[in-house]
Structure 1
Amino acid sequence: MAKDMKLHAYFKDWMKLYKQGAVREVTYRKYQMTQRQIVLLASTLKMNELSRLTYQQLLNDYAETHERQTVMDFHRHIKSSLIDALEEGIIDRDPTRKAIIKGKTPGKHKTKFLNQHEVQLLLDSLCLDEGVNWDYFILLITKTGLRFSEALALTPADFDFARQTLNVTKTWDYKSKEEGFAPTKNHSSIRKIQLDWQTVIQFSQLTKGLPDNKPIFVKSKIYNDTVNHYLERLCKKAGIPVISVHGLRHTHASLLLYAGVSIASVARRLGHSNMNTTQQTYLHIIQELENQDNDKVMKHLASLI
């Protein structure tokens, strides 16, 4: 009987039925991770034993070793399955109602983005005369704001040097055992990115003679940590704050915003599905720019006598 099922067994059946094949493989693996955590923390908890108390205890146990945002994602996964269980009559009430999301104190995070002077110091430290290497990879993400998986998937054919554009149509699934091309994060991620003339010259030379439809940077198994550790060494060598590869994407966006580029244009360049994502991610920068705008407005109005 479904009511006697263990929570982890129900969640496993639910994710196979509703999520497998409906979400990207990388997203499905997150559901699988949630299911493994339920087994670890509440292996005997049955559906008919679910209450606000038992559910809150599950969240609290998970929160002991995870930060609040991770706990929130864990909660959302389970809540989605239990809402369906409620509609099916497997449970009588929603045990996730009024759940309190806790989490351990966040650890020290890497700098989210660099300022223009620091970016220049980083780019000056790159070695760009040895053919394809991670220095070119770092340069490209800094200049385009590409996601890590998008940059890995780039082939020479994706560059349109005559029009100075880069076509982003795919990603590289570096997290799975069988690496290969994969779809973009969402439809908005399929985009054309305008390139500056220096980048066009550098990459037209770099890609000359390379196979048109093979990834430029993928030569063997890729690990995100490998590139992040390499970038860390470059940052230390340049005497700037240590930043992650994803931080270079944030850096690209922040420099454009500070330069006065509209939020809409930045959102399209980053491949965000809507401007809300951009606004939430860069809220602190947008608020700072709004304060500067207010100062300009007041000065202008004060000059009208």
Structure 2
Amino acid sequence: MLSNSIFERKYKDRDKEVFNEDEVECILTYLKYNQDIWNLGLKLQFETGARIGEIAALRFEDTTEDSILIRRTEVKYRDDDGKWRLEVAEVPKTEAGYREIFLPAEAQNTLRAIKELNPQGTFLFENEGKRIRSGTFNHRLTRVCEKVGIPPRSTHKIRKTYGTTLIDNNVDDSIVAEQMGHKDISTTRKIYYYSNKSRANKREQVRAALKGI
């Protein structure tokens, strides 16, 4: 007799793996018109797909006119007393993590707004002279989702949304992998790619494809 465990499957709600196109528009509109240093951090992540630990570790010296350079990330570790610490490591998460992320025009506006709010900072994202940690951005995203009336998700889902958007818009595989900080496109497609089309968009595409049947 076959064990029931053979048939067990861990259900993953694909709709919660990314923000769909309607949700992205809703959130970005909110972030754009409710600017503070935390909301601008989330906006920049939508525009770059960087890991939230990379966003939290960005310095002004890592920015150019039309790109950001990923050279470091936030890391969590236990110190000698067994306490958890958060620090900035002067290396990214992986070797492929060293990269230049090209910015759309709106992201350049985001960078200018960040500099206006934090003109004397070392890190892009600081509050009262202290670096804003990655967990703070996750908490803020939960609040933003609640504000706009959509199910809350982690900042990692922003990253998946970015990767999905690049693939759906036929960006070359090598460029997608490079922008994501992956060694090759297989990682992006296997773990980060989900349809983020709205339900209405999916329905219309299927109906159009089967119109002659």
TM-score of the superposed pair, with normalisation by structure 2: 0.72
Structure with more contact order per residue of length (Cα contacts < 8 Å, sep ≥ 6): 2
Counterpart of 1:184 in structure 2: which amino acid? P
Aligned to 1:116: 21
Identity %: 26
Please state whether the residue corresponding to 1:167 is helix, strand or coil: strand
Aligned to 1:156: 60
Q: Over residues 193-233 of structure 1, what are the superposed CA-to-partner deviations in whole Å (9 max), with x where a residue is unaligned?
A: 1111221123124225234xx22224257362x43232122
Deviation at 1:138, TM superposition (A): 0.5
Aligned to 1:146: 50
State which of 144, 148, 153 in structure 2 corresponds to 1:234: 144
Distance in 1 between the 2:193 and 2:28 partners?
Answer: 26
8 Å contact 1:118–1:240 — kept in the other structure? yes
Counterpart of 1:136 in structure 2: which amino acid? L
Please state whether the residue corresponding to 1:126 is helix, strand or coil: helix
Counterpart of 1:112 in structure 2: which amino acid? E
8 Å contact 1:174–1:222 — kept in the other structure? no
8 Å contact 1:110–1:243 — kept in the other structure? no
Counterpart of 1:165 in structure 2: which amino acid? S
8 Å contact 1:149–1:174 — kept in the other structure? no
Distance in 2 between the 1:125 and 1:197 partners?
Answer: 18
Q: CA RMSD in A?
A: 3.2
Distance in 2 between the 1:185 and 1:261 partners?
Answer: 24
Higher strand share: 2
8 Å contact 2:72–2:92 — kept in the other structure? yes
8 Å contact 2:160–2:193 — kept in the other structure? no
Given the superposition, is the C-alpha separation of residues 171 and 256 from structure 1 closer, same or farther in structure 2, using an over 3 Å criterion? same
**Structure 1 segments unaligned to the other structure (5+ residues):** 1-102, 286-291, 297-305
Aligned to 1:262: 172
Given the superposition, is the C-alpha separation of residues 128 and 170 from structure 1 closer, same or farther in structure 2, using an over 3 Å criterion? farther
Distance in 1 between the 2:24 and 2:34 partners?
Answer: 19
Given the superposition, is the C-alpha separation of residues 108 and 258 from structure 1 closer, same or farther in structure 2, using an over 3 Å criterion? closer
State which of 71, 75, 78 in structure 2 corresponds to 1:173: 75
1:190 matched to 2:98: yes
8 Å contact 2:57–2:72 — kept in the other structure? yes
TM-score of the superposed pair, with normalisation by structure 1: 0.52
User: How many positions carry a matched residue from both structures?
Assistant: 182
Distance in 1 between the 2:174 and 2:17 partners?
Answer: 21
Distance in 2 between the 1:165 and 1:283 partners?
Answer: 23
Q: Over residues 66-113 of structure 1, what are the superposed CA-to-partner deviations in whole Å (9 max), with x where a residue is unaligned?
A: xxxxxxxxxxxxxxxxxxxxxxxxxxxxxxxxxxxxx99679898110
1:222 matched to 2:133: yes
1:40-51 matches, cutoff 5 A: none
**Structure 2 segments unaligned to the other structure (5+ residues):** 1-7, 78-83, 196-204
Aligned to 2:200: none
Deviation at 1:252, TM superposition (A): 0.8
Deviation at 1:239, TM superposition (A): 2.2
